[in-house]
Amino acid sequence: MKNFSTVGVRVAVVALFAGLLAAPTQAATCEFRPNAPDQHLVVKGDTLWDISGKFLQHPWCWPQVWGLNKAEIRNPHWIYPGQIVYFDRKNNRLSLSRPGSGDGSGSANGTLRLSPQIRTEGLGKDAIQAIPAGVIEPFLSQPLIVEAGELKGSPRIAAAEDGHVYLGQDDKIYVRGDLKGGSSFQVFRPGTPLKDPQTGKLLAYEAVYLGTAKLFAEAKPGVDAHTFVVASSKQEIGVGDLLIPAPPTVMRNYMPHPPDQNVDARVVGVYSGVTHAGQNQVVSINRGTLDGIDVGTVLQLYTLGRTVPDPGAPRRGILGTKKTMIKLPDEQSGTLFIFRVFNRISYGLIMQVTDPVKIGDVARSPE
């Protein structure tokens, strides 16, 4: 997967998490662990989340303790195996420069020299990742969230070459519908409906991903269907299946941050059809771009507090037949990292969890 691409060659100073800004004011959630080490040698397989977890009570806070502002955390910052992360206890921050070594200009003592670098497509190829990207990569292109309104306008497979019923790679298919200038599509069929646990409203469908199709020839005047070729097939494709434009290549440089506005969401789906999710599993929530969610948003997970009878309270109603019910508090159960966002639905990766996550559980802005 490509990290990112640029138009032309741009020169930028790669901050690399060194102390370019004054130490930021620490939020209550960004406290260091009492037993935080003085330093950590970065090794292959580390993630920024894992490394930060060695120093911080809440690993997602690392952009703040690196001294990065919001604009900077949107840009790629790379750390490589062999480098050393230092805990600057005096300034309460993390750095790639040894505390007290000066301005961060490099030397052989383990500090990192900052210098302008060219951003190219390969930069960061060997850098450690922010989160375990291998877990989520299948979800970046294959699982589909399809808004209810999209189904009506999606191009569909109207016929197959030689009347084939089921289609696979390299087969020709004939598609009707407005391609809107696209040439690369995913093939899907409507699957599990995702309903808001709070309102019962249908939000979208988690569609079944079948494969990909490439445009071979657009329909000419007097012809009703475009000609496509099945480029890849994960499951059998058939007449009636739908097409949706393939998503753009995504960046793998995910930067955690709290949402810009208060978020109170619910888990609406656990991927793969299971009822409960744990560490490094994917769930969907009932909030998306329209609610201020973007890639990298971090939310706290809570087990929804049950409503139970109070055995010590007097009964209510006629002849005292009704029990008094009380609502128990929501209990914090983990952290959710949002990595793919749609209009009203988002996919999140469970980063830490103490209890299984299930449909209806709460995902809120960090406190």
Tell me the torsion sign for CA atoms 252, 366, 44, 14: positive
Rounded CA Rg of the chain:
25
Q: Which residue has the higher pLDDT, 49 or 212?
A: 212
The answer to whether residues 178 and 149 belong to one domain is yes
Question: pLDDT of 81-111, one tens digit each?
Answer: 888 988 888 888 888 888 877 544 333 333 3
123 shares a domain with 144? no
**173 lies in the same domain as 126:** no
Q: 209, 185 in Cβ contact below 8 A?
A: no
Q: Are residues 149 and 39 in the same domain?
A: no
- Select from 64, 98, 130 the last residue of a domain: 130
Sign for the pseudo-dihedral over CA of 175, 181, 187, 191: negative
**How confident is residue 65, by pLDDT bands cut at 50, 70 and 90?**
low
Instruction: Indicate whether 165 and 202 sit together in one domain.
Output: yes
Is pLDDT of 118 > 80? Answer: no
Q: What mean pLDDT comes out for the span 263-287?
A: 85
CATH number of the domain that 304 lies in?
2.40.10.410
**167 lies in the same domain as 197:** yes
Q: Domain of residue 198: give its range.
A: 140-245
What does the pLDDT average to over 175-196?
Answer: 90
> Could you tell me if 3 and 124 lie in one domain?
yes
Question: Within a domain: residue 251?
Answer: no
CB distance 145 to 284 below 8 Å: yes
Domains contained in the chain, number: 3
Q: What is the 3-state secondary structure (H, E, C) of 307-334?
A: EEECCCCCCECHHHCECCEEECCCEEEE
Domain-terminating residue out of 130, 150, 185: 130
Q: CA–CA separation, 215 vs 173, rounded Å?
A: 10
Do the bridges between strand 202-217 and strand 156-160 make them parallel or antiparallel, or are there none, so unpaired?
unpaired
**More confident position, 106 or 363:** 363
Same domain, 147 and 221: yes
- Checking if the pLDDT of 249 tops 70, the result is no
119 against 139, higher pLDDT? 139
Across the chain, mean pLDDT equals 76
Residues 125 and 48 in one domain: yes
Residue 124 has pLDDT above 60, yes or no: no
- Cβ neighbours, 10 Å, residue 43: 10
Same domain, 80 and 192: no
Q: 282 with 196, same domain?
A: no
